[in-house]
């Protein structure tokens, strides 16, 4: 069986007139680097689980994306990180929410899955677990980005919780990956810094299994990006899997129905990447664009940003 991998760096309105050629190249280079981080594992016969973890780690390390190093500021001026990972073969999952000071929350989520009795750890408990497992707590300066700081100041001034944005560019800042390895096993991982100026320990869909992240060898692996509250209410990732399992829809049909019909009816904007046992990656969104990329064994790396790209 051929391996395959897809990644996303967030969906949203991404006008061409606000994107310089240099900036666009930076985004595409980062997407290609993440695809390589995952596909190089699959090329060597590695697992889908390891592939999605390393692809997401690559995106967490890039300040262009709202995850890990590039995470947005909370109302209090902190960075609260969410991440999840799921193994379709073992039907196991791990997640962290409101985790502060850890560069790569997806790695902690993997530890939660493999080395704890739980699925989701949050806040101080998640940090205690991470430190216990040998992760270093970074200084706040590690996460400081001037753009993110300005976004936060604007949000504070308007007293609003806002998306990852710059001028007329509005993005749902999340990163994710899905993969199928040569043995046919599926996996998904998602990571995010959430919403600028978020308060009260707000948690989105990314670390919630079945909402923003899901993997089941019998159906598909899904990673979502969008306005998290809508994706939580619609249980988006699991809904796609259910439509395949119980209604016999193809992955493409299920994804299109959920993202372009059901979500839209409830006012939800965003998108998903998904992969099944026999399909090519499916990348579906109802926004004006989505940072995305995919690669299937024997093919060429493909990346996209705008709506009109294949």
d(CA 178, CA 191): 12
Strands 213-215 and 81-87: unpaired
Measured distance CA(129)–CA(309) in Å, rounded: 42
Residue 307 near residue 14, CB atoms below 8 Å: no
Instruction: Kindly report the number of other CB atoms within 10 A of residue 58's CB atom.
Output: 24
The first and second tokens of residue 118, run together, are: 């739980």
Residues with catalytic function: 174
- Listed in order, strand segments (DSSP E) in 26-112 are 81-87, 92-99
Nearest alpha-carbon partner for 204 in 173, 179, 178, 238: 173
- Gap between the Cα atoms of 276 and 241, Å rounded: 10
């Amino acid at each position: 069986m051929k391996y395959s991998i897809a990644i996303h760096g967030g969906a949203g309105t991404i006008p061409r007139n606000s994107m310089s050629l240099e900036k666009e190249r930076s985004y595409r280079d980062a997407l290609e680097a993440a695809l390589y981080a995952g596909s190089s594992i699959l090329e060597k016969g590695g697992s889908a689980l390891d592939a999605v973890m390393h692809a997401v780690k690559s995106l967490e390390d890039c300040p262009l994306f709202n995850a890990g190093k590039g995470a947005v500021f909370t109302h209090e001026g902190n960075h609260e990180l969410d991440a999840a990972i799921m193994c379709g073969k073992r039907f196991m999952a791990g997640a962290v929410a409101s985790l502060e000071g850890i560069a790569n929350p997806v790695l902690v989520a993997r530890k939660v899955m493999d080395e704890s009795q739980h699925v989701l750890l949050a806040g101080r408990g998640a940090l205690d677990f991470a430190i216990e497992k040998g992760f270093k707590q970074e200084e706040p300066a590690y996460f400081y980005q001037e753009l993110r700081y300005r976004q936060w100041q604007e949000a504070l001034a308007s007293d609003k919780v806002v998306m990852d944005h710059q001028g007329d560019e509005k993005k749902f800042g999340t990163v994710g990956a899905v993969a199928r390895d040569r043995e046919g096993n599926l996996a998904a991982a998602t990571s995010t810094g959430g919403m600028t100026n978020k308060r009260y320990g707000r948690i989105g869909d990314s670390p919630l299994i079945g909402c923003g992240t899901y993997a089941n060898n019998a159906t598909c692996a899904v990673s979502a990006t969008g306005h998290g509250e809508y994706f939580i209410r619609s249980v988006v990732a699991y809904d796609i899997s259910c439509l395949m399992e119980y209604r016999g829809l193809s992955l493409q049909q299920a994804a299109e129905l959920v993202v372009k019909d059901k979500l839209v009816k409830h006012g939800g904007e965003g998108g998903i990447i998904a992969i099944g046992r026999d399909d090519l990656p499916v990348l579906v969104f109802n926004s004006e664009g989505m940072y995305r990329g995919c690669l299937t064994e024997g093919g060429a790396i493909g990346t996209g940003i705008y709506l009109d790209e294949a």
